[in-house]
Amino acid sequence: MKAIVAYGPHDLRIEERPDPGAPGAGEVRLRVQSGGICGSDLHYYHHGGFGTIRIKEPMILGHEASGIVEELGAGVSGLAIGDRVAINPSRPCENCEYCRRDMRNHCLDMVFSGSAMRFPHVEGMFREVLVVPAAQAVPVGAATDTGLAALAEPFAVCLHAARQAGPLLGASVLVSGCGPIGCLAVAAARRAGAAHITACDVVGEPLETARKLGADTVIDLGSDRSGLDALKADKGRIDVVFECSGNPAAVTTAVECVRPRGRLVAVGNGGPVEFPLASLVAKEIEMVGSFRFDTEFALAADLVARHLVDLAPLISHRMPAGRAVEAFDLASDRSQAMKVQLDLTDWTAAT
């Protein structure tokens, strides 16, 4: 089978890998359909990793994907050959302290597709065929676009962030940083009943996507540095901020915008931040982190399958898997692309 494999910085290859064969008991064999290029995929592509996590051996990339069931292993129920599914990249151990406490996103022995955190690395989903435990294949219905099904993973991240935010019904919300996760945070907040959503970024192009996904107001801080001043007035006007950039300056600004006893949900993962502790104390702000997802994956797939959310505006480009390098370069340009997806049924090379 063909697969998209990272060897190191700017060394991305399409190569043949062994077919995974027939599924074992409790497993399914999937023909992979669509895969979305994520920020972590771009870190592997450009830098060979992020932080202390580095590629130490060639690794298939990809953890946002959908597929079609080709074969069922013994004992599998609830799935049928031909089913379209969103593929959950998380496989928690179910035995560690955090799994037993229903905190599986903090599993001490997590197997996560397309990740170099473990060695040997966990191969990803940018390939033709995949065999996974049946629980990782979540049906989305025959009518669901496979590209939309592949968005279940990043949308699950944002549904978990919305859960971390607490009740959003009637809330004023600010989403800081409007990459794919920020825009999906807008969609999650809108679905949760936020009364007014403001989205901001230092680049103007992504803000139109944020508006299409439910933002009431968008602010381009690259052209208007004072754009958030009104939200800072009277100790802050915002009930909940989703900080999705991980930028230290953006975190400081978010704290200024949160009202007393409001909440800041840290979703973006950046470097060290010099935190404005005095403001946190004086305004009694609650700050919580948000890491990956757990049960939210099934919820994300269900919302997409039942057309209760329209995430289509997030997909800016769909390209053949055979043009992977071109697709990764395009996904790296925020002025041109939002979510670039690969058609993993088409391995036609660029001409």
Distance in angstroms (rounded) separating the CA atoms of residues 173 and 161: 13
Distance in angstroms (rounded) separating the CA atoms of residues 148 and 138: 13
* Residue 12 clears pLDDT 60, i.e. is over it: yes
H or E segment at 342? Answer: strand 339-343
Average per-residue pLDDT for the chain: 96
| DSSP secondary structure letter of residue 261 | E
Distance in angstroms (rounded) separating the CA atoms of residues 21 and 70: 11
Q: Which CATH code is given to the segment(s) 155-289? A: 3.40.50.720
Decide: helix, strand or coil at residue 175. Answer: strand
Q: pLDDT digits over 112-158, tens only?
A: 999 999 999 999 999 999 999 999 999 999 999 999 999 999 999 99
Mean pLDDT of 256-283: 90
Measured between alpha carbons, how far is residue 198 from residues 95, 262, 285 in Å? 41, 15, 19
Distance in angstroms (rounded) separating the CA atoms of residues 245 and 279: 20
* Residue 64 clears pLDDT 70, i.e. is over it: yes
Distance in angstroms (rounded) separating the CA atoms of residues 172 and 240: 7
Q: pLDDT digits over 193-217, tens only?
A: 999 999 999 999 999 999 999 999 9
* Residue 351 clears pLDDT 70, i.e. is over it: no
H or E segment at 99? Answer: helix 97-100
Question: What's the burial of 134, exposed, middle or buried (CB within 10 Å: 0-12/13-18/19+)?
Answer: buried
Q: With contact defined as beta carbons under 8 Å apart, do 247 and 270 qualify?
A: yes
First to last CA, the chain: 22
Domain boundaries, the chain: 2-151+311-343, 155-289
* Residue 175 clears pLDDT 90, i.e. is over it: yes
> Measured over all CA atoms, what is the biggest interatomic distance in the chain, rounded to whole angstroms?
63
pLDDT of residue 200: 98
Residue 350: pLDDT band (50, 70, 90) is low
Distance in angstroms (rounded) separating the CA atoms of residues 214 and 185: 10
How are beta strands 84-87 and 137-139 bridged, if at all? antiparallel
Axis crossing angle, helix 180-191 with helix 205-212, rounded to the nearest 10: 20
Q: pLDDT digits over 321-331, tens only?
A: 999 999 999 99
How are beta strands 111-112 and 90-91 bridged, if at all? antiparallel
- 59: tokens are 């690794």
Bridge partner list, 65:
35, 87
- pTM attached to this predicted model: 0.96
Tell me the CB-side half-sphere exposure of residue 7, using CA atoms within 13 A: 7
In the CATH scheme, what architecture does the domain 2-151+311-343 have? Alpha-Beta Complex (3.90)
Residue 101's CB is within 10 A of a number of other CB atoms, namely 9
**Amino acid type, 276:** P
pLDDT of residue 275: 79
pLDDT of residue 15: 96
Is the peptide bond between 167 and the residue preceding it cis, with omega within 30 degrees of 0?
no
